[in-house]
Amino acid sequence: MKAIFITIVFLVSIVKLNAQSKVDESSEDNLDLYKTEADATENTETLGLPGDNLDLYAALDLFQKSKTIEEFEASLNDEKTGINNLDLNLDGEVDFIKVVSKNEGDDFTFVLQIDVLEKEVQDVAVILVSKNKDKKVTIQMIGDESLYGKDYAIEPKPEVAAVTANPAYSGTDAVAENAPATVVVIESAPIVQYVYSPVYVPYYPPYYYGYYPPYYHPYPVVSVNIYFGRSHHHHHNHYHGGHRGGNTVIIHNSNTYNNYNRTRNTSNTVNRNKSEGSYKGNNPSKKPSTRPSKKPTTKPSKKPSSKPSTQPKKQQAKPQTKPSTKPSKQQVKPANKPQQKPKSKPQAKPQSKPK
């Protein structure tokens, strides 16, 4: 019996030690995850502009991996990707970004736009895809000045010290030639192969303010700290840029970009919210300009329109009912009395007198 009891105690002790070890490991993993998110937030410089809620590095990476423009548009507005966190009209929900395609020969522009209001459109960024006479493809993404400031442009790094054509490769197998990796990545990107293929058709989104695709479901905006705490920061390793004044990024196809600037869309609402400081702070979903606009348009429209329209109808119904009933009775009585009395009395009296 003692031997059995000692064995049971020994087994219970082992189970407790294993459980405690798993709890400790889980706590360490959670702590490491928290440190990673905190470091990403601290090491990422915010602009203090609306563009902080759309990481162009992540958006450009998503663009290169997409097979079509429609797929890029759908993935960009998908809550699961977590890339889009823009709320330009400050209604607390993420705005839908549509992608408008334009091209002249081998030069393509893909404009990211938001319908802020029914008659106000704001450009978010433009992606330039060009091919020179040597068939070399270049990709650049330039943020709109209202959202990212002046000269905010990013592009894939021209050279990456990688052992393969994949700049994200972390293995140990070396190759004979260490060529600039991003050149191969750009030319072999699915979206690049698509736009330069014979089957490419320019994409014109049919969506507008209040009308969106069936797959799109508005989702709430998160704070800038939470947004930067997501795993978007690793995209910054494959691209470089930002404000052109402090780096070597230049516009490869300045003619196409200048032509785009002539038709660039800006929103008065965005400019006003920006000047009033409504986009600043860690939580753009506080809605400083939304609540006043909703309350006045809802309550006054219901109360004044219902009461005055009901009372005049009742007053008009009473005069129409009374006069139409009484005159009809007066017309019936005179018509019966004159017809009966003259016919009966004159015929009876002349017949009795001659007898």
Q: Which residue has the higher pLDDT, 348 or 123?
A: 123
How far is Cα 144 from Cα 148, in angstroms, rounded to an integer? 6
- At 210, the pLDDT band (50, 70, 90 cuts) reads very high
Q: Which residue has the higher pLDDT, 122 or 325?
A: 122
pLDDT at 79 over 90: yes
Q: What is the mean pLDDT of residues 133-159?
A: 89
Least confident of 12-26, 36-50, 148-162, 340-354: 340-354
% of the chain surpassing 70 pLDDT: 54
- At 176, the pLDDT band (50, 70, 90 cuts) reads very low
How far is Cα 258 from Cα 264, in angstroms, rounded to an integer? 10
Q: What is the DSSP string of 46-104?
A: P-SSGGGGB-HHHHHHHHHH-SSHHHHHHHHT-TTT--B---TT-SSBPPP-EEEEEEE
Please give the radius of gyration of the chain, using alpha carbons only, rounded to the nearest integer: 38
What is the enclosing helix (H) or strand (E) of 290?
none
At 11 the pLDDT is 67
At 6 the pLDDT is 66
3-state helix vs strand vs coil in the chain, percent to 5: 50, 15, 35
**Sign of CA pseudo-dihedral 331, 334, 337, 343:** negative
At 17 the pLDDT is 58
The amino acid sitting at 318 is K
At 289 the pLDDT is 41
What the block records as the tokens of 157 is 């790094």
Q: Are strands 107-117 and 98-104 parallel, antiparallel or unpaired?
A: antiparallel
Least confident of 28-42, 49-63, 152-166: 28-42
CA-based nearest residue to 143, from 251, 226, 283, 255: 251
At 30 the pLDDT is 45
Q: What is the DSSP string of 140-177?
A: EEEE-HHHH-TTEEEEE-S----SSS-TT---S---S-
Report pTM: 0.63
- At 123, the pLDDT band (50, 70, 90 cuts) reads very high
pLDDT at 125 over 90: yes
pLDDT averaged over every residue in the chain: 73
Least confident of 37-46, 135-144, 246-255: 37-46
At 209 the pLDDT is 95
**How far, in Å, are 234, 308, 320 from residue 311 at the CA level?**
67, 6, 15
pLDDT at 253 over 90: no
Q: What is the mean pLDDT of residues 17-22?
A: 57
pLDDT at 222 over 90: yes
Q: Which residue has the higher pLDDT, 197 or 319?
A: 197
At 250 the pLDDT is 81
Q: What is the 3-state secondary structure (H, E, C) of 194-261?
A: HHCCCCCCCCCCCCECCECCCCCCCCECCCHHHHHCCCCHHHHHCEEEEEHHHCCCCCCCHHHHHHHH
